[in-house]
Chain A
């Protein structure tokens, strides 16, 4: 079949890109909602995967329960993190908070490493043993599942921010905390909610990617690609994150195939530089207008 190789590359690229998109969504959500750049987002992905591992392997629960329980646990953890560690620092300089999130990430990573050492584990895919075959094209259904979940999540998030009262409150807080407070919105609750949502998104990325790449303490390194996806998308728009993530994933895979496996990142980041030179605020970003 013509283009069989290209189609397989494209699907693999879109699936990798979806994970970057989910990480980017979590980053942008927390940044928009609270003004905090959460450097622990990558480790939250790893933590989500380990929580899922606990429910799947130790408690032996079925996949759907694992997903729901993991998301709920991760959301609680995110809210607790905000309440216990981030909120007391809210009045500190922005840089201090960034360093604090970095420290939180390191703590999570080291706790995971101490308790699981260097072993790699995995949770079973809901599609274990199933392979989609179309002529010469072989597709792991988990790839399609990852891509589908990401697109649906983005749609749900857009609806949530446009239609629901909580979503609107979050947007109000993001725009102007003082005004939002005067309107009767409890800003601190919105902060907790934002962190809960952002942690749940990270955990979802962890659950989705675990059957594909395994679970280990170094999973958090995905944050770098998440940042790139978010910047590509303009660091402001949810759709931008998804487009940025997918673009990065596809570029990386095609770069690996046509330039060489070790040049994967070089090809992808080279193109990122080019796009940012042409559109400094990303694909979906706009320059903030400031009155002087």
Chain B
């Protein structure tokens, strides 16, 4: 009896300790700020987390080498979530309760990120997410949550519809999209806005399954419909085959693809069949750009990781890098007396802030924490991704819900 009471008392004390620590301003000392980060660095989505983590580390190196922020160096504890919502939640709990970090920096995909939102909001820990883009991540508004580099999934539809009809002046559009969630959502959003905004309902929509390797049936259907442009949504593995097969089957129309297809693998695999392929990219410059800011980023990257695996750095390196600099700017503006609430107030003052042209400008306000609504359209020219001079003009509807 006595022993069980003792045990209960110890447990109660331990729990009280945990909740007290979670609520306190952990992670800030005279000479450092401890940031907890998580993302998938093993499993099928490892390229997301590895990119995000390494980009973030390069930014932290730069910030610390320049003397830190108000005399404090940034330190990071990183946890792997293996692309699983339960592991992401466990990782975040460990970071907050055990490592006592000041804030969370997420470089994971949408599903794992959603798993952490509720907990971090209740613990009142600032939660800055760089990559996850599903609407469930950002809605409803949550003061402790910020999203940087990627844009809202529904925003892709707005941008694609405007680009296709207003820049390429296409009216007869055929959509070839994957049937899994992300390309399906993108396709649905584009289809809806093409019709609602521009009265250009796609003349044909055909789907394929994830992992398909042959698109002859779908492409022959498109050939029969004879559109002015073909839009395809899915992964670069699929795009590489689609582009080659389309040209082989005698389709001469321009092809526009989703963000995931803007990748050097497309050029490497489809070769000259990829010429003229267009797609949206999440930063203003492509990775092999000779712009001084990108050259500087690449140099910093290869200095830190001399034995780069193929395909790296990738877009997630750029997103993690750009967003850690945004956080740093927030910490700077929050002043030397750092608290979590002050950081949030400071981040809300950012307007079109970016470290350099490798990132899109981020803006946060008191009523929305969606940092980026832009995308850079790219085209394959002479076997390189080249940015197109186009900026969307139409006001996005994405923020309207938050205004209400």
Residues in A lying within 8 Å of B, measured CB to CB: 5, 8-9, 12-13, 16, 113, 115-122, 128-129, 131, 136, 138-140, 209, 212-214, 216, 218, 221, 252-254, 256-258, 260-262, 264-265
Are the C-beta atoms of B213 and A16 separated by less than 8 Å?
yes
Are the C-beta atoms of B309 and A120 separated by less than 8 Å?
no
Residues on A with C-beta less than 8 A from B47 are: 117-118
Are the C-beta atoms of B269 and A128 separated by less than 8 Å?
no
Distance between Cα atoms of A267 and B384 in the complex (Å): 40
Interchain CB contact (< 8 A) of B214 among A12, A119, A128, A258: A12
Distance between Cα atoms of A221 and B179 in the complex (Å): 18
Interface size on B, residues (CB 8 A): 36
Question: Known contacts A122-B269, A128-B271: does B212 contact A264 (CB below 8 Å)?
Answer: yes
Are the C-beta atoms of A12 and B212 separated by less than 8 Å?
no
Residue of B nearest to A219 (CB): B213
In this complex, which of A128, A129, A261 has the most chain B Cβ atoms within 10 angstroms of its Cβ? Answer: A261
Residues on B with C-beta less than 8 A from A253 are: 214, 216-217
Flag B246-284 by CB within 8 Å of A: 1 or 0 each: 001110000000000000010011011000000000000
Are the C-beta atoms of B46 and A262 separated by less than 8 Å?
no
Q: Which of B189-217 contact A (CB under 8 A)?
A: 206-209, 211-217
Residues on B with C-beta less than 8 A from A138 are: 248-250
Flag B220-245 by CB within 8 Å of A: 1 or 0 each: 11001000000000001100110000
Q: Output the least CB separation between A49 and chain B (Å).
A: 13
Are the C-beta atoms of A116 and B309 separated by less than 8 Å?
yes
Are the C-beta atoms of A120 and B237 separated by less than 8 Å?
yes
Are the C-beta atoms of A260 and B207 separated by less than 8 Å?
yes
Interchain CB contact (< 8 A) of B311 among A119, A140, A257, A261: A119
Main secondary structure of the interface of A (DSSP, over half): helix
Interchain CB contact (< 8 A) of A261 among B208, B237, B268: B208
Are the C-beta atoms of B237 and A256 separated by less than 8 Å?
no
Q: Output the least CB separation between B245 and chain A (Å).
A: 8
Q: Output the least CB separation between B242 and chain A (Å).
A: 11
Residue of A nearest to B311 (CB): A119
Are the C-beta atoms of B217 and A265 separated by less than 8 Å?
no
Are the C-beta atoms of B310 and A117 separated by less than 8 Å?
yes
B218 interface residue, CB < 8 Å from A? Answer: yes
In this complex, which of A9, A120, A212, A253 has the most chain B Cβ atoms within 10 angstroms of its Cβ? Answer: A120
Distance between Cα atoms of A257 and B249 in the complex (Å): 14
Q: Output the least CB separation between A165 and chain B (Å).
A: 39
Question: Known contacts A116-B310, A118-B311, A262-B208: does B241 contact A213 (CB below 8 Å)?
Answer: yes
Are the C-beta atoms of B209 and A117 separated by less than 8 Å?
no
